[in-house]
Amino acid sequence: MPEANLTVLDHPLVEANLARLRDKRTGPGDFRDAMAAIASLLTTEATRHIATKPVEIDTPVSPATVQKLPGPVIAVPILRAGQGLLEGVLRIVPDVRVGHIGMARDETTLKPTIYMQKLPPLELAARPVLLLDPMLATGGSAIGAARLLREAGATDIKLLCAVASPVGLRNMSAADPGMEVYAAAVDERLDERGFILPGLGDAGDRLYGTD
């Protein structure tokens, strides 16, 4: 992936929360909390480009000019694990709209299939879209979701992930050269089961205690 399209967040709070995610002793409650914190930090960077608009309001003591978002940001978690990142987006983005894309990766072929989709009825072309998936392994799930969003008209899409693999980044860049990726870390490689190494295990299972 060309460097211009990848931002790896260099921040002590990202590192400290990533440490919680990687540790196999971290239970679902703490895992969800750390994932949400990382999502908020990634979201801060991935929304920096949005131009605010001035609005006149009254504070309890005086009129004031404040800055607001020009329209709703759309967050699209890839189910299930993307829900873990959504929590941190909802905490800091006012009036966010949420679309859902359900994708499951076949454990043998590693190919993803879409099992549900529900996008907000907004003009996608005009809105910033945050695509949420904690793991970019082969990239198949995020590439499939990005294709679906492009077909629906989205032009400004940023992919937020906790951990990305080099091959996943390469595949994403080849499939969707306009995609910008924000990650907390780029790990070494994939194992034979398609798990990221050293990674953090199966994010969906660890978020929801289903392993």
Please give the residue ranges that form the binding site for ligand PRP (CB under 6 A): 78-81, 104-105, 110, 112, 133-142, 168, 194, 202-204
How far apart are the C-alpha atoms of 72 and 78, rounded to whole Å? 19
Q: Distance of CA 201 to CAs 13, 75, 102, 103, Å?
A: 21, 24, 20, 18
Q: Distance of CA 92 to CAs 38, 44, 126, Å?
A: 12, 8, 21
We find the least distance from the C-beta atom of residue 4 to ligand PRP, in angstroms, to be 22
We find the least distance from the C-beta atom of residue 45 to ligand PRP, in angstroms, to be 21
We find the least distance from the C-beta atom of residue 48 to ligand PRP, in angstroms, to be 25
Is 68 or 170 the residue whose CB approaches ligand PRP more closely?
A: 170
Is 49 or 188 the residue whose CB approaches ligand PRP more closely?
A: 188
Is 76 or 136 the residue whose CB approaches ligand PRP more closely?
A: 136
How far apart are the C-alpha atoms of 143 and 150, rounded to whole Å? 10
We find the least distance from the C-beta atom of residue 86 to ligand PRP, in angstroms, to be 12
We find the least distance from the C-beta atom of residue 144 to ligand PRP, in angstroms, to be 8
Give the closest residue to 105 by CA, choosing from 190, 38, 43, 30.
190
How far apart are the C-alpha atoms of 83 and 134, rounded to whole Å? 9
Is 107 or 123 the residue whose CB approaches ligand PRP more closely?
A: 107
Indicate the residue whose CB is closest to ligand PRP: 204
We find the least distance from the C-beta atom of residue 91 to ligand PRP, in angstroms, to be 21
> 136 near 6, Cβ under 8 Å?
no
Is 128 or 139 the residue whose CB approaches ligand PRP more closely?
A: 139
Is 68 or 111 the residue whose CB approaches ligand PRP more closely?
A: 111
Judged on CB neighbours under 10 Å (0-12, 13-18, 19+), 150 is: middle
